[in-house]
Structure 1
Amino acid sequence: MEKALNIALVQSSIFWEDPAKNREHFSKLMDSISPDVDLVILPEMFTTAFTMNPKNIEKEEGDKTVQWMQQQAKARNVGLVGSMVYFEDGRYYNRLWFVGPEEIKGYYDKRHTFTLAGEDKVYHRGEKKIIVDFKGFRICPLICYDLRFPVWSRNTEDYDVLIYVANWPQSRVNAWDALLKARAIENMAYVLGVNRIGTDHLGHAYSGHSAAYNSLGDTLVFSEKEMVLYATLQKEHLIQTREELKFLDDRDRFSLKE
């Protein structure tokens, strides 16, 4: 039987540095999500917005949000993905969690911390990618600024889906659009980009442009509005495309060294 993955991309505004209010907000948004959805993806730092002052957030909030994600995933029988401010062992991380309905599938710490905003000064960067097996799909989740670095995103693990959660500003949204499509084409994978919308506490505007692209770079869904976007990923289409166009067989072999 053909495998399909129904996904929901939650494109929303985010309340500034208010985890409790954001959890309540996203709970309500998830109430409206179609019951046939398998995987729900939230934006980067969905409980605080893109703050460079993590000390303003109670250190326990990260664990509270992970528990909230587990509750939501189990109650709705979905996978749930999103990043947050997370404190561990004396360090702050921009950490993405992938939570399944029965268990935590893994977490990823943002590797490319955004130097333009000083993220590298306050958040400890990650050192490794993760690949999550979920309902017949191999999924690689990354975060925002990682999108600009194709070597890090390169499909050397034979993943099927590449996810980017983001707070990507309107002023550079053309780059977001172009790079999402490029990552899909060059890696012959589905690419899902989930961005926020609205204006943050610092006056930065966000225009969304959350989208899903197939392995040929075709647009499956796209929006500039505050909404939940839906798309269905077909494993058979991905397999057929890769069999007909064996571009991944010719990819460069490399390993990253610090």
Structure 2
Amino acid sequence: MHDMTVREDLNVALVQAPVTRFDTQANLHNFDRLLQQVEGADLVLLPEMFNTGFSMDSAEQAEAADGPSTRWLQQQAARLGAVICGTLTIKAGEGDYRNRLVWARPDGSLEYYDKRHLFRMGGEHERFRPGNRRLLLELKGWRIRPLVCYDLRFPVWSRDAQTTDLLFYLASWPQVRRDAWNRLLPARAIENLCYVAGVNRIGEDHNGHAHSGDSQVLDFIGDSLLHVRDQEGVYQVRLSAARLDRFKQRFPAWMDADDYSLPDVVEG
């Protein structure tokens, strides 16, 4: 049963920006500049492949698990006193590349989630290896599930209406499919009875694909708490634990959900 312990609110910062292909130094410099605007956040979210831009050139852009971009995340987490998350290409072994979401805590400790659903239409499944582990992490008593971009299209992978308080998706979602992004995010919130955040990049990528941003936060009934179009910046929202807990107590639809299991998946 959902734990109704009184919890503090959660302050979430979404960082929306363009990303320059393969120019890690320039990208980290720009995000460093933007992060100066963060005030009192508990959780800071960056777009998918924030350091290199979304690309299938896995070998060229990959870093070691303890590489410079991961160390940069650790430094930012320590400076901000907040958890910060972004995805980057990690070389996990010989010929083994992952689109890896890194969860960096202020004390320097890390968690990671490897993107499960690889974007077939772009050939991501040919260059990267999918993850088989779903994470449910705790921050200030909140249960948070981190996911990446294309994962949004697969509701079973996101599903956990009983225990999840916040789902978030770090994305490089093109403008041509922005309607799907804007419809699926509230759907995930409604069906999982939880807050949902989606962070996307802006600007054109190296293939000329435009990205509209549309970074946003929705509450547990799918209502918008924040929606940014294509402006660069840091956008913060405070999520109410009390409102969420009251809603889950008064509308416990999760109790009538069908039982299911995901084969060959590690829950962690």
Q: TM-score, normalised by structure 1?
A: 0.96
Displacement, 1:180? Answer: 0.2
Kept after mapping to 2: 8 A contact 1:5/1:234: yes
Residue matched to 2:3: none
Map residues 82-121 of structure 1 onto 2, 5 A cutoff.
82-90=86-94, 91-121=96-126
1:62–1:144 distance in 2 versus 1, CA, 3 Å: farther
Kept after mapping to 2: 8 A contact 1:73/1:100: yes
Residue matched to 2:243: 237
Count of residue pairs brought into register by the alignment: 257
Map residues 22-101 of structure 1 onto 2, 5 A cutoff.
22-34=27-39, 36-57=40-61, 59-60=63-64, 63-90=67-94, 91-101=96-106
Kept after mapping to 1: 8 A contact 2:56/2:124: yes
Match of 1:200 among 197, 205, 227: 205
Residue matched to 2:18: 13
Counterpart Cα distance in 2 of 1:167 and 1:58: 17
Kept after mapping to 1: 8 A contact 2:161/2:191: no
Counterpart Cα distance in 1 of 2:173 and 2:68: 25
Counterpart Cα distance in 2 of 1:173 and 1:72: 30
Residue matched to 2:145: 140
- Determine helix, strand or coil for the equivalent of 1:163: strand
Map residues 166-185 of structure 1 onto 2, 5 A cutoff.
166-185=171-190
Match of 1:227 among 228, 233, 238: 233
Counterpart Cα distance in 1 of 2:109 and 2:91: 18
Displacement, 1:120? Answer: 0.2
Kept after mapping to 2: 8 A contact 1:45/1:82: yes
Displacement, 1:63? Answer: 1.7
Q: Which amino acid aligns with 1:115?
A: R
Q: Tell me the alpha carbon deviations over residues 169-203 of structure 1, each in whole angstroms, 9 at most, x when there is no partner.
A: 00000000100000000000100000000000110
Displacement, 1:226? Answer: 1.7
Q: Tell me the alpha carbon deviations over residues 103-141 of structure 1, each in whole angstroms, 9 at most, x when there is no partner.
A: 334100000000000000001100011011111111000
Identity value in percent = 40
Counterpart Cα distance in 2 of 1:47 and 1:113: 19
Displacement, 1:62? Answer: 6.2
- Determine helix, strand or coil for the equivalent of 1:98: strand
Residue matched to 1:153: 158
- Stretches of structure 2 that go unaligned for 5 or more consecutive residues are 1-5
Match of 1:217 among 222, 225, 250: 222
Q: Tell me the alpha carbon deviations over residues 67-108 of structure 1, each in whole angstroms, 9 at most, x when there is no partner.
A: 111111001101101101111112110000111111334100
Q: Tell me the alpha carbon deviations over residues 37-63 of structure 1, each in whole angstroms, 9 at most, x when there is no partner.
A: 111100000001111002222544862
